[in-house]
Each structure stands twice: as C-alpha cells, then as structure tokens.
C-alpha cells in the first residue's frame, strides 16, 4: 500500500460537481492499494498517518501529529499511486489491486483511522473526482508499506 500524505490548510473533493468530503486543517491522503496488500499493510499505513509529526509546535518545529492538532483527514483512493513509469512513457498499472480488494482495504484504512478517534472524510471509490487543496508548506510525505522508500 502506498500513500501520499499532504499537510493542508483545507481540502475538499467533488463528484459530479457536489462536495462529498471536506476538511479544514489536516491531512489530504491519497492511497493506492497493491495486489499483494493485506490488512497488515493497512495497519502499517494507519499507524504512520496517525503518528506522523509534520505539524509545527510552538517553536515552529515539525513535532506534532494529526492527533495533537485535532485536525481532519481526507482520504482519496488513487490507484495511480501504484503506477510504474520506469519503462517507456505510459505507466503500467499492473501492480494495482483489483477493485474488490482495493475498495475493501481502502475502507479498512478509513475505519482504522476513525477507530483512533480521527475525523475522516472520504472521496468516492472508483468515481472521477475533482480534488482541491490549499497545501501547507508544502509538506508531502510518501509512505509505502513495503518500505521501498
């Protein structure tokens, strides 16, 4: 499982022109599920997202987590994070999980974050979405449950 975690002042997602999820200060998280992913990969990404200390403390140092600031999380399913563009110009999406597994693990991630008492908003799985954000920093962190990077 891969995730791109962005620190934002605000973010929202629209489907067919209607806002289906929105947050103020917090994290915009894009998630891509791989064919081999399991609940253990979800647990790893959940813990990383909840514990990332990427918000500033009183001294301007990135020392606070999403829990510490009581911020929101907007989670967007993005199979393209599993894209492999190392060869040629057109990415291969072969590593991406099929819709059934991807949807199941995506929802598990959202539920696991909610179990940590974090307010979670979601995009709409398999829909074409328009995502808007006002990034803070910008701070963008890449996560991979296989610890490739």
Q: How confident is the model at residue 149 (pLDDT cuts 50, 70, 90)?
A: confident
Q: What percent of the chain clears pLDDT 90, i.e. is strictly above it?
A: 98
Q: What is the pLDDT of residues 116-143, one digit of tens each?
A: 999 999 999 999 999 999 999 999 999 9
> Can you list the domains of the chain with their CATH numbers?
2-144 (3.50.80.10)
Closest CA to 106 of 136, 133, 127, 132: 127
- pLDDT value at position 105? 98
Residues belonging to the chain: 149
**Please, are residues 139 and 54 in contact by the beta-carbon 8 Å criterion?**
yes
pLDDT at residue 93 tops 90 = yes
- pLDDT value at position 10? 98
- The token pair that represents 115 in the structure block: 């179990």
pLDDT at residue 19 tops 90 = yes
Query: What's the rounded Cα separation, in Å, for the pair 37 and 56?
Result: 32
Instruction: Please give the average per-residue pLDDT across 1-20, as a whole number.
Output: 98
DSSP 53-96: --EE-TTS-EEE-HHHHT-EEEEEE-GGGG-B-SSSSS-B-TTB
* Average pLDDT of the chain, as a whole number: 97
Instruction: Please give the average per-residue pLDDT across 87-94, as a whole number.
Output: 94
- pLDDT value at position 72? 98
Instruction: Please give the average per-residue pLDDT across 49-74, as a whole number.
Output: 97
pLDDT at residue 35 tops 80 = yes
User: What does pTM read for this prediction?
Assistant: 0.96
Q: How confident is the model at residue 23 (pLDDT cuts 50, 70, 90)?
A: very high
């Amino acid at each position: 499982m891969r995730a791109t975690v962005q620190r934002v002042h605000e973010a929202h997602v629209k489907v067919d022109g209607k806002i289906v999820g929105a947050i103020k200060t917090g994290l915009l998280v894009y998630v891509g599920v791989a064919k081999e992913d399991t609940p253990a990969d979800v647990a790893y990404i959940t813990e990383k997202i909840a514990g990332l200390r990427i918000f500033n403390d009183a001294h301007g140092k990135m020392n606070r987590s999403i829990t510490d600031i009581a911020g929101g999380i907007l989670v967007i399913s993005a199979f393209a994070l599993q894209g492999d563009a190392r060869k040629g110009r057109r990415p291969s999406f072969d590593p991406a999980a099929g819709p059934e597994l991807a949807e199941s693990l995506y929802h598990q991630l959202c539920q696991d974050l909610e179990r940590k008492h974090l307010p979670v908003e979601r995009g709409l799985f398999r829909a074409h979405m328009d995502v808007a954000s006002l990034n803070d920093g910008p701070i963008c962190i890449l996560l991979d449950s296989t610890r490739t990077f």
